[in-house]
Amino acid sequence: MSRAPSRRPMVRAMSEDRLAGRQSRLDFDDGDSPALGYAGSGDDPDPFPAIAAEDAAPIVLAAIPGVVEPGPSSWFAARKHRLKRWWRGATPNLRGSIYMVSSFLVYAVMTGLFKYLGPVIPLVEILMIRQIVMSLIIIAFAAHELPAMIRTTRPGLQVFRGLVTLASMLCGFSAVIYIPLAQATAIGFSQVLFVTIAAVLVLKEAVDGARWVATIIGFVGVIIMLNPSSHGLEFYALMSVGGALFGACVTVSVRMLATSERTDTILIWQGIVLIAVLALPTWWLWVWPTPEQWLWLIVLSVFGTAGQWLLTRAYQVGEASALAPLDFSRLLLASFTGFVFFAEIPALPTWLGAAIVISATLYTMRRNAKPLIPAA
C-alpha cells in the first residue's frame, strides 16, 4: 500500500517521456509506420490516446527564435522566384522594352535565315512555308475563336492590307538576301518618313513644317545610303526602299482597321490572302528542301511568329513614344549578324546615311509624341 503512491509520479513521468517520443516520431515519420500511436507492450498499456497525423500541430520554423525558414528547394527555383518578383515590380515601359528587344533578337535570327536560305530556295516558297506555320500556330492557340477571328466588317481593306504586306515582304527580304544586312535595315528605317506622307494624303492628319523638314532631310540620308554612281542606283537597294514604302501602307491600313477589327482578325486575314496569292508561284517555282533546310525553315517560321507576338505585346504593355527609339538597335544587330555570319562590312555611305535617317526619324517621333493642344 505504501508503494502505490510512490509509483504514480514515476508512471506519469514515463508516460510523459513516451508522449514526447511519439511527438518527435510524428514530426520525422517517414510514412512507413502503420500507426503513429504508442507501440508499447500489451502489459504496459499507454495511458494517453494515439495522435493522428492530421491532428498534429505543425511546427512553424519562422516562429522559433534563430531559425530561418528555408526558401525554394533548388538554385534554379530560387532564381525563378526572384525573377518573378522583379518582373511584377517592373514598370510597364521597362517590361515593354524587354519584350521589344527580345523581338529584335528573334527577328535577327529570322532575317539571318532568310539571307542564308534565299539563294537556294525561292523567296515565295520561304514566305509560303512561313505563313502556313504562322497560321497553324495562331489556330492552335485560338481554335475555339476561329469563327469570330474570320468575321470582318471590312473585307476589302483586309485584302488590301494582305497584298501590301506581301509586297513589303517581297521587296524587303529580297534586299536582305542580296545586299548587306546593315544597309537593308538602315534603308528600312525610312518607313517612318513614308508614314508621315501617307498620314497627310490618306488619313488627312496635320503635319507641321518642322516635320516636313525632318522628312526631307531623312530622304537625303536614304539617297546617301543608295550611293548613286555612274552605273545608276543599285536595284536591290531600291527594293529595300520599296519595302519601306509598302510597309508604310501596311501601317496606315492597320490604323484604319484598328477602329473596328481585332488584332487576331487582321493576322488571320493576312494569312488567308498571302497563302491564296503565293500558292501558284510557290507550286511553279517549288524546290524540295533538304532535311537540314526544312529544319531551318521551321525555325525561321517559328521565330517569325514569336517575334510578331513579342512586338505586339511590347506595344500593348509600354508606351509607343518610349519604345520607338529602341527600334534603331536593329541596325546594330543587323551589322553584327552580317559581319559574323556573312563577313559583311558596312560601307561609309551606309553609316553616314543611317545617322541622318535615324536623327530625322527620332525628331519626327518626338514631335508626334507631343500633344496637339498644350496642357493648361
Residue (of 273, 267, 242, 247) closest to 162 by Cα position: 273
pLDDT for 254 beyond 80: yes
Rounded mean pLDDT, 231-257 = 85
- C-alpha 94/C-alpha 243 separation (Å) is 30
Is residue 124 over pLDDT 50? yes
Identify the residue whose cell numbers are 511527438. 23
The C-alpha cell 535577327 sits at 108
pLDDT of residue 371: 54
Give pTM, 2 decimals.
0.70
Mean pLDDT estimate for the chain: 77
Summarize the confidence of residues 211-238 as an average pLDDT: 78
Highest mean pLDDT among 85-94, 326-335, 343-352: 343-352
Cell numbers found for residue 243? 519595302
Computed on alpha carbons and rounded to an integer, the radius of gyration of the chain in Å comes to 34
Q: Find the range with the poorest average confidence among 45-49, 240-244, 337-341.
A: 45-49
Question: CA 135 to CA 264: how far, in whole Å?
Answer: 10
Identify the three-state secondary structure at position 37: coil
Residue 179 has pLDDT above 70, yes or no: yes
DSSP state at residue 74? S
pLDDT single digits (tens) 70-119: 455 577 788 888 888 888 877 887 888 888 889 889 999 999 999 999 99
Proportion of the chain above pLDDT 90, given as a percent: 26
Residue 293 cell numbers, joined: 533546310
| pLDDT class of 159 with cuts at 50, 70, 90 | very high
Output the pLDDT for position 196: 79
How many Cβ atoms from other residues are within 10 Å of residue 10's Cβ?
A: 9
H/E element, 19: helix 4-28
CA atoms within 13 A on the CB side of 119: 6
What is the distance between the alpha carbons of residues 122 and 261, in angstroms, rounded to a whole number? Answer: 33
Higher pLDDT, 193 or 65: 193
